[in-house]
Structure 1
């Protein structure tokens, strides 16, 4: 039997959004196990400052596909003025959450008041890098071997800062199938087969499966946050 969850989550001080999601019992059971590491954080959140509550909820929601699902990483952009934080505060907040929730992160670039950073799982990224073809990563993109997760992210950051544009190969660290990333970049002789949140050049079924998993994680994060009184993820 399917369950219907209806809840409210604050969008601004003056607006409320009512969101309805339908999940199978199997998805709920699987996610409940994934949520266990976050229950202590949830219990202690009421004693945190308003700023810490807003920042934590924002990170939890926007990185939910990494925290609650299989996504390798998530590229995030935080409006410093809107959140009321400095770059140093963002870095300290991410370090605190990384220790609690078990992820890695890198600050990438700050531009026009937006701090861009990546949250990722090192083991997942390392596994992806080890499966990436040398003819693309080494011969065409000139990444030094052996590929290591941390040094790959650091090199991405330096290339972004040097050229002023985001390197498309960052998709390797964001959980997208390699065929989709390299096909989009024109580095593999593949044609676009369709779209499922991103352009698909490899197996459509696998890309759709990942897209559903990522979306389900965000929905579960919204449900989780809706159960915390006074906390907004906007």
Structure 2
């Protein structure tokens, strides 16, 4: 079973490197392990680097969590863009003064709604046209599928997918060679 640090490297390398504003992944803690302690240690390692580690949802049945890693300033800038704000309002989000308020609304939607809130792509830095395309086409008729489903320019998406994959490969190697989470985190 993978440690939380290893999972952060595996699923969040582009965010740690500053290539992406946020990452989201499912994490299943080891039974009998100290998940709270491990989570707090990872959070502390990211302190002062401009990144925030939070849990958006926990499952009582399986004990798994949706872990969200984000760059505070990058997410705030993204959510402050007029087109993103307008889209999120259309999706039922209330106006907010900071990204944390919007994240609380997202977490509530993850927990309370029967259907997955596909606007989550905005919070992950996916192109807005791709988020809207996914919702409009119900996940079908995409031009390219990789880290997300692309409905726009497949060449640009492919370039991004390659960058993220190369970054993850480099981070895996560095982590396996002994680099710490803090050493792998590019400060904002």
* Partner Cα separation in structure 1 for residue 32 and residue 167 of structure 2: 23
SS of the counterpart of 2:109?
Answer: helix
Q: Which runs of 5+ in 2 are unaligned?
A: 180-188
Q: Which runs of 5+ in 1 are unaligned?
A: 1-11, 13-50, 230-234
Q: How does 1:119-198 map to 2 (within 5 A)?
A: 119-131=69-81, 133=83, 134-138=85-89, 140-146=90-96, 148-186=98-136, 192-198=142-148
Contact preservation (8 Å) 1:79, 1:113: yes
- Could you say if the C-alpha distance between residues 103 and 83 of structure 1 is closer, same or farther in structure 2, counting changes exceeding 3 Å? farther
Query: Which structure's CA Rg is the greater one?
Result: 1
Contact preservation (8 Å) 2:11, 2:24: no
Q: How does 1:1-234 map to 2 (within 5 A)?
A: 54-81=3-30, 84-86=33-35, 88-99=36-47, 101-111=49-59, 112-131=62-81, 133=83, 134-138=85-89, 140-146=90-96, 148-186=98-136, 192-228=142-178
Deviations 1:119-139 (A, max 9, x none): 00121112222235254221x
* Partner Cα separation in structure 2 for residue 170 and residue 83 of structure 1: 31
> Which contiguous aligned blocks of 4+ residues in structure 1 show a shift greater than 3 angstroms?
none
Higher strand proportion (structure 1 or 2): 1
TM-score (norm 1): 0.64
The number of residue pairs the alignment matches comes to: 174
Deviations 1:144-201 (A, max 9, x none): 22463221111100111112553111111112111111110119xxx63232332211
Question: What value does the CA root-mean-square deviation take over the aligned residues?
Answer: 2.8
TM-score (norm 2): 0.78
* Partner Cα separation in structure 1 for residue 114 and residue 29 of structure 2: 20
